[in-house]
Amino acid sequence: MPLNFDSNGLLEKAQVLFKTITSAVTSLAVISGSGWIVSTALTQQPVLIERIELPGSLEGKGYKSEVVLQQVLDEMRALQEISRSERAESAFFAKTLSSSQKIDANFGGLSVANVEKVVRAILGTQPRIITGEIILAGKPDSEQLFDGRLRVDNAVISRPVNVAGEQAIIKRFAYDLFSHFEPFGAALAAYRRQDFESARASLRQVIAQGTTEDRKHALWLRAKLSGRLQEEADLQEALQLDPNFHLALVALVDLRRRQGQFDEALTLADRAIAANKESPYGYHEKGRVLRTQRKFDEAIQQFEIACAQKQKFAPCFNQMGEAMLQKQENAPREESIRAMRSAYEAFVKAMRIDGQHMWAHSNAAYAATSLGNNGDALSLINRALFLDPSLLTNRVRYAYILFRSGKREEALTLAKAIMSENPGIYQNETLGYGSRGAMRTMLQ
């Protein structure tokens, strides 16, 4: 049956648009008479974004429906990239989550040579219709407020109210649309961005309607967002769905360690290792329990096993280095220097695996200044401060490195300010290794 549109003109538009929009999220977007057809990695069925109506105030800024759509697609692409990264770090999701298998099967996009074939295939099916509108709700002193509606097949999936600024409501549309098609992926992305309320909302949808595999992963992720009672309840429910669910076992080891239940924590760690001997997580958590018990040689052995696994895991190198620092506290000088060098090397390995690992940078800075390498120490602590400028340990170590570098007046001023702002600093249980001694050295 002949198509009732200019196929050559449509193909030309598709080829131009394809070059700018194709991504992990958008395999193909083409302009049709009524809107934009989007073949996405979020669904096997094509989607027609028919219109997004805008208030005059946005149109006066140069916004058009297609501009808003482009920004929604760009933000969805960013969310999916975050979700893919979170899955890759654990190396479980692509194998076990039914939804991620569907997504992974569609990664890669299309070549321009295949556009015409795909256009015909898309136009031969019934698309899902997406419509929306952004409504001016008011104008505070700084930014305009907007309400919005986004619908899929006439069902409202997003209803933001009194959102400050057009970019914020566009991001909300993108997240809610992504969550509609892939709630667990959206929850992972929100978790990485520390938008915990959005993550919880998406996870509720998976827990209520997902497959067993999806539900157990959703319970595990929600446990990471919960207080201790809900955390335990979610992990136990996940283990009821699958008694050998490795991620839940590892998380429960961490919970028992924090509760001081070390024997049970070690038993659970052995179960986690047995459930997946090729994963670093079980060995890593077992090492953390042993380190808390000050069994440093045994802990280091577990961290070494964790670090030797095929999946590279930065925290095991960082934990190994910290255990080495603790072990050498009362050692003779030469042995202490050797241990400090080994710890420094472990921290550097952690940084090479994960350039965003704040504690590895901070710990490496402390080890470097202890070894007399103050130039590297200053560079490392500045990076740690960039990653987390508010962490008390980073501020203390920065002052100490200045002190060791000969800038004693500047270091002393900073140390006194830290002490004034944190009078209970010596009782702070989470203060990084050596920080208490560093403060006493500067203030004596």
Rounded to an integer, the average pLDDT of 404-424 is: 92
Q: What is the pLDDT of residue 34?
A: 39
Range of the domain at 431: 312-444
Q: 420: domain CATH number?
A: 1.25.40.10
Residue 118 has pLDDT above 60, yes or no: no
pLDDT greater at residue 400 or residue 56: 400
* Confidence category of residue 444, pLDDT binned at 50, 70, 90: confident
Q: Confirm whether 390 is domain-assigned.
A: yes
Rounded to an integer, the average pLDDT of 186-203 is: 90
Q: What is the pLDDT of residue 13?
A: 37
Residue 121 has pLDDT above 70, yes or no: no
Q: Confirm whether 130 is domain-assigned.
A: no
Q: What is the pLDDT of residue 94?
A: 43
* Confidence category of residue 58, pLDDT binned at 50, 70, 90: confident
pTM for this predicted structure: 0.75
Q: What is the pLDDT of residue 11?
A: 37
* Confidence category of residue 30, pLDDT binned at 50, 70, 90: very low
* Confidence category of residue 89, pLDDT binned at 50, 70, 90: low
* Confidence category of residue 426, pLDDT binned at 50, 70, 90: confident
Rounded to an integer, the average pLDDT of 21-32 is: 35
Rounded to an integer, the average pLDDT of 382-386 is: 96
Tens digits of residue pLDDT in 215-262? 999 999 999 888 878 899 999 999 999 999 999 999 999 999 999 999
Residue 44 has pLDDT above 80, yes or no: no
Q: How many residues does the chain have?
A: 444
Q: What is the pLDDT of residue 260?
A: 95
Across 46-50, 325-329, 391-395, least confident range: 46-50
Rounded to an integer, the average pLDDT of 114-138 is: 59
Residue 307 has pLDDT above 80, yes or no: yes
* Confidence category of residue 200, pLDDT binned at 50, 70, 90: very high
Q: Confirm whether 304 is domain-assigned.
A: no
Task: Determine phi and psi for 329, rounding to 5 degrees.
Answer: -55, -45
Q: What is the pLDDT of residue 46?
A: 56
Q: Confirm whether 58 is domain-assigned.
A: no
Q: Confirm whether 131 is domain-assigned.
A: no
User: What is the tally of structural domains in the chain?
Assistant: 1
Report the Cα 388 to chain-centroid distance in Å. Answer: 16
Spatial separation of the C-alpha atoms in residues 192 and 198, rounded to whole Å:
11
Q: Confirm whether 52 is domain-assigned.
A: no
Task: Determine phi and psi for 152, rounding to 5 degrees.
Answer: -120, 115
Rounded to an integer, the average pLDDT of 375-395 is: 94
Residue 368 has pLDDT above 50, yes or no: yes
Q: Confirm whether 365 is domain-assigned.
A: yes
pLDDT greater at residue 28 or residue 238: 238
Residue 344 has pLDDT above 50, yes or no: yes
* Confidence category of residue 192, pLDDT binned at 50, 70, 90: confident
Rounded to an integer, the average pLDDT of 157-172 is: 88
Q: Confirm whether 318 is domain-assigned.
A: yes
Contact at 8 Å (CB) between 183 and 100? no
Average pLDDT for the chain: 80
Q: What is the pLDDT of residue 125?
A: 53
